[in-house]
Amino acid sequence: MSKPTIFLTRRLQPAAMRILEQACQVSLWDVEDQPCPRDVLLRGVAEAEGLLCLLPDRIDSELLEAAPHLRVVATMAVGYDNIDVAACSARRVLVTNTPGVLTETTADLAWALLLAAARRIVEGQRMIERGEWGPWYPMQMVGIDLCGATLGVVGAGRIGGAVLRRATGFSMDLCYYNRRPDPELEARTAARYLPFDELLRTSDMIVVTLPLNDTTRGMFGAREFALMRENAIFVNVARGPIVREGDLVAALRSGRPRAAGIDVFEREPIGADHPLLALPNCVCVPHIGSATIATRTRMATLAAENLVAALTGGPVPSPVNAEAVGW
Ligand code: DGY
């Protein structure tokens, strides 16, 4: 029996390539650090039964039109806002993602940003680099304590739960906002449910771990920043468009929130002239929530396992729209 044809928008780690090459006939965009150009992608899927894609690839009706044989789109990410899942479902194309394997790594980054923003780590290093570190004085580079503060997680799913779990060592008061209360999460983390506005008013530290969808797009803007406490620290490790970036810049300039840690941006990648980079009270990193060797390798192998299982009739580890396509 001939192997199914698949297209990859990037070469993956060897462990994932082995899984794919054993079961499939593989063609790919083989440039490690550049997204697959749209015309290459559209040509690449013309004969493909499977597509393995990454965050920068837009999977929409145009692409589905160009891919008459496509049966599965496997993304190497937990978030799939770059994929028109409804359009895939309408064509009975299965979509899969990589939940679970990046939870702890992303929660670690949320904490790295919380600590860096609250304790002015990057600002301090820049001050030294500029040769401006003068003699010690009482209020030099003072920040905000995490210990004893109230931590509010907005969108407490897997990653948000892991962020809350890490707070134990900091003796924090914990709260969360989800569409509805989650008694299991409360039992596990001792976090209490608060309505959204109340969480914003109550929390000293706010971490966003929501998925991006029509409800969450633009959820944080001028109104929400104005509700925050004066010394609040704001962290976003979810998706950039959940935050109105212009409003965040204005809010940070006015000092409420006091500081922010940002991993994700409205349009990625950002350039060196992005206004958030000019603010001393904002720590920016380039969408590295899941970026450890072990986690990125696990994401790649899980994406490969999803793709192969979908094409060979095995149980698919993490389908997104199984019901809709009758899987
Ligand atoms: C995801 O998986 O959605 C992250 O944003 C990238 O790791």
Does residue 47 carry a pLDDT above 80? yes
- Ligand 1 centroid to residue 20 C-alpha, Å: 21
Mean pLDDT of the chain: 97
Tell me the residue ranges of DSSP E strands in the chain: 5-8, 25-28, 50-53, 72-75, 94-96, 150-154, 173-177, 192-193, 205-208, 233-236, 259-262, 282-284
CATH fold, domain 5-99+293-325, is Rossmann fold (3.40.50)
Q: Which two tokens stand for residue 15?
A: 């462990």
The angle formed by the CA atoms of residues 205, 206 and 207, to the nearest 5 degrees, is 125
On whether the CB atoms of residues 77 and 98 are closer than 8 A, the answer is yes
Helix-, strand-, coil-residue percentages of the chain, each rounded to 5: 40, 15, 45
Architecture of domain 103-284 in this structure? 3-Layer(aba) Sandwich (3.40)
Q: What CA–CA distances, in Å, run from 33 to 28, 239, 278?
A: 14, 21, 26
pLDDT tens per residue, range 125-163: 999 999 999 999 999 999 999 999 999 999 999 999 999
Q: What is the pLDDT of residue 32?
A: 87
**SS3 state at 169:** helix
Residue 256 CA to residue 317 CA, distance in Å, equals 43
Residue length of the chain:
327
Fold match, 5-99+293-325 / 103-284: yes
Instruction: Give the pTM.
Output: 0.97
For the chain, which residues make up each domain, given as ranges? 5-99+293-325, 103-284
Q: What is the pLDDT of residue 118?
A: 98
Q: What is the pLDDT of residue 1?
A: 74
- Ligand 1 centroid to residue 141 C-alpha, Å: 33
Question: Which residue in 62, 188, 253, 268 is the catalytic one?
Answer: 268
What sign does the dihedral 243-244-246-249 (CA atoms) show? negative
- Ligand 1 centroid to residue 244 C-alpha, Å: 20
What sign does the dihedral 96-77-297-114 (CA atoms) show? negative
Residues 6+ apart with CB under 8 A from 258: 144, 230, 231, 232, 233, 281
Share of the chain above pLDDT 70, in %: 100
| pLDDT band at residue 194 using 50, 70 and 90 as cut-offs | very high
Biggest CA-to-CA distance, the chain: 75
In terms of Cα–Cα distance, which of 100, 76, 69 is closest to 11? 76
| pLDDT band at residue 327 using 50, 70 and 90 as cut-offs | confident
pLDDT tens per residue, range 5-23: 999 999 999 999 999 999 9
Label residues 65-75 b or e (16+ Cβ within 10 Å = b): eebeebbbbbb
Ligand 1 shell residues, CB under 6 Å: 55, 77-79, 102, 289-290
